[in-house]
Structure 1
Amino acid sequence: MKLDYLQALKRVDEARGVWILHGQEPLLEQNVLDALRKSWTKHEVERQRYDLNSVSDWKTVFNALNSLSLFSQNLAIEVHGNIKPDANGLKQLKHYIQHNEQNLLLVIMPKQDSNSLKSSFFQLVEANGVVVPLTANYPQDRQRILSNEADQLGIQLNQDAWVWLEQHHEHNLLAAKNSLMRVADTFSDQKLIGIEHLQECLQDQSRYSTFDLSDALISGNLALSIKIFQYLEESGEPNSLILWTISKEMRLLMQLYEQPQNALQLGIWKNKISIYQQSLRRLNPHAFLNWPELLLRVDAAIKGLSKEKPEYLIQQCIAELCGKRLFAF
């Protein structure tokens, strides 16, 4: 079964079996993941996360799916990466689908090309589970998605304001949502938002976005990257979304190092392949060994599970991506 983003949001409580989320829209991915995680907490579902670095990691995933802790009745396995299971993994996946109806295997992947979507893995999941493309290719799709965000904030935009918002952010949904949050806070007593409200609120508040941070990181510009991070922090950008941006770039670089011929399949846009290749030549691959642990430390700090300051760890991540090191591990 194939569901679009809004349909998937409505069915998170029913999520069982196998789901695949794939795309390049961080807002859509984060919203679906947040909704699923809230549902798991509500229904006392045990959650585990795994990152795929090689095809053999699928064995660990399937072993986990067959084992529950003594305190859990249901399990959700969250898998991040762009590596499909091999023939043996597909057999295990079929067995899981046939014999395990209560647990959930959730696979989060970057944007897939047409050949990948025709693979045995995607065909098996689409026939027996759920595939959710996290895309918003047309203006009407983006407006539907952002209208849903506006509804949750208790505001509405007139049609001229929608047109202005999309042009202002050049189809960047995450930046557009942040603008909706800002205008809702600024004009809390105004239910219908027009262009004049957006202009007054945003004209000097949209200098940088997480997309600018990605570009600066991959270019290795440490000073600009730190400047953008500080701007985003001062502008109220959630640390979780900044971490998502950094994590995405780290994982893309690690995957490209392992699969240098598969840049397009990894979700890297064609016009940016050379920039990522230059970034790899600038970096020391031995540093990659520290990155997963560093990302986990940032995540724990953001969630208040450690005494470390997330802003310091994020700056360490930024420095690592730029080929520098601010502090010792």
Structure 2
Amino acid sequence: MNVQADQLMRLLGSDKPLSPVYLLSGDEPLQMMEAADAIRRIARKQGYTEREILRVETGFEWSSLGQSADEMSLFSQRKVLDLRLEKQSPGAKGSKALVEYVKRLPEDKILLITCQRMDGRQKNSAWVKALSNAGVMVQFWDLSLAQTLGWVAKRLRQNGMQPTQEAVRLLTERVEGNLLAAAQEIDKLKLLFGESEISEEQVLASVSDSARFSVFDLSTAITSADSRRVQHILYHLRQEGTATPLVLWVVNDLVTQLSEASHVLRNGGGEQQAMSKIPKPRQKLLQPALRRLQSADWIRITEKAVEVDRLIKGLSQVDNKGDGRVWVALLDLSLLLAGSDELSAA
């Protein structure tokens, strides 16, 4: 059966026996992680004390799922089969294996499957329908602003705090839809103020503007061609004292992946071939950037990355060395990748 995320938590708290199959799909990591943790926790309470992790990666043998299902546990202990799909689809062999698994569900096993968000075609596939009919399927979506406000308020109250509406609004604005960041900030508020009323002033005292940014936010801003946000994030990373080699590592990763993919396209390859060496979870993020930068001056961009590396190591021959010059060079490189030719003054 298909249920909503909040319905799943109510089902798990009802003391009823667990379903033989759980399929968790989505692109919101915190909700997925906490739901999977809750299933594993309840499973242990119900006697499923063993756990086997099956990671579906290149070369995965789907026959191992059937072998794990048929395997007798030592001392008659029950087991959770934790199947983690790398891609949206398990492929033809995996689809067949999952359908076969459902046809002869083992009494001493629970199958927990986690995967990325599925499109309409995947949701209507035979393996998804089979799993949903045999157990519980939950799809996790990014929350709307109103839903995030409700989620933050509920999370604060679950941690024993009584927030004002202004405090909830401010915290929601600061984390910009990132539930993992929100959970971390709520933990910090509890450490600072305990189980008490939480005001807007207390949130301001706890949550700094820079806390909502990381080097990976910079990567997202670059691939989204958001030049203003690139500058804003780099400013706060500098203010926070983020190590420049770490910033360059993230930007260089984009340079390498996008330049190699662009080379494939320029030589007549298709987009699927060009993206094949990029990890599946990043392909959707990098696809718009690849299309935008297909004809970019990659020699210039690569030379700029080398220049930044030399600046960081103190090997550059340019004048005005030092931390400030490094950050200017990082901004120039990031703006090139974001599609802006308006470089900063050195």
- Scaled by the length of structure 1, what TM-score is found? 0.62
Q: Which residue of 1 aligns with 2:205?
A: 200
- 1:87-236 → structure 2 map (5 Å cutoff): 89-100=94-105, 101-188=107-194, 191-203=196-208, 206=211, 208-209=213-214, 211-212=216-217
**Aligned ranges for residues 1-329 of structure 1 at < 5 Å?**
1-12=1-12, 14-42=17-45, 43-54=47-58, 57-80=61-84, 81-82=86-87, 84-86=89-91, 89-100=94-105, 101-188=107-194, 191-203=196-208, 206=211, 208-209=213-214, 211-212=216-217, 266-268=280-282, 270-273=284-287
Identify if the C-alpha distance between structure 1 residues 211 and 147 changes in structure 2 by more than 3 Å, giving closer, same or farther: farther
Q: Is the 8 A contact 2:19 2:136 kept in 1?
A: no
What's the offset of the Cα at 1:10?
2.9
**Can you list the C-alpha shifts for 1:288-316, whole angstroms capped at 9, x where unaligned?**
xxxxxxxxxxxxxxxxxxxxxxxxxxxxx
Q: What whole-Å deviation, never above 9, does each CA across 1:50-94 have from its counterpart, x for those lacking one?
A: 110147532212211111321343221011122634556445434
Which structure has the larger Rg? 2
Distance 2:92 2:283 in 1: 29
Structure 1 unaligned spans of 5+: 219-223, 234-248, 279-329
Deviations 1:262-294 (A, max 9, x none): 79994546452366999xxxxxxxxxxxxxxxx
Higher-RCO chain (CA-CA 8 Å, sequence separation at least 6): 1
Alpha-carbon distance in structure 2 between the residues aligned to 1:62 and 1:8: 27
Partners of 1:263 and 1:24 in 2: CA distance: 21
- In the superposition, relative to structure 1, how do residues 156 and 131 fare at CA in structure 2: closer, same or farther (>3 Å)? same
RMSD value, Cα: 4.1
**Aligned residue in 2 for 1:245:** none
In the comparison of the two structures, how many residue pairs are matched? Answer: 251
Could you tell me whether the CA contact under 8 Å between 2:50 and 2:80 is conserved in 1? yes
Deviation of residue 120 (structure 1)?
1.8
User: Normalising by the residue count of structure 2, what TM-score does the alignment of the two structures yield?
Assistant: 0.59
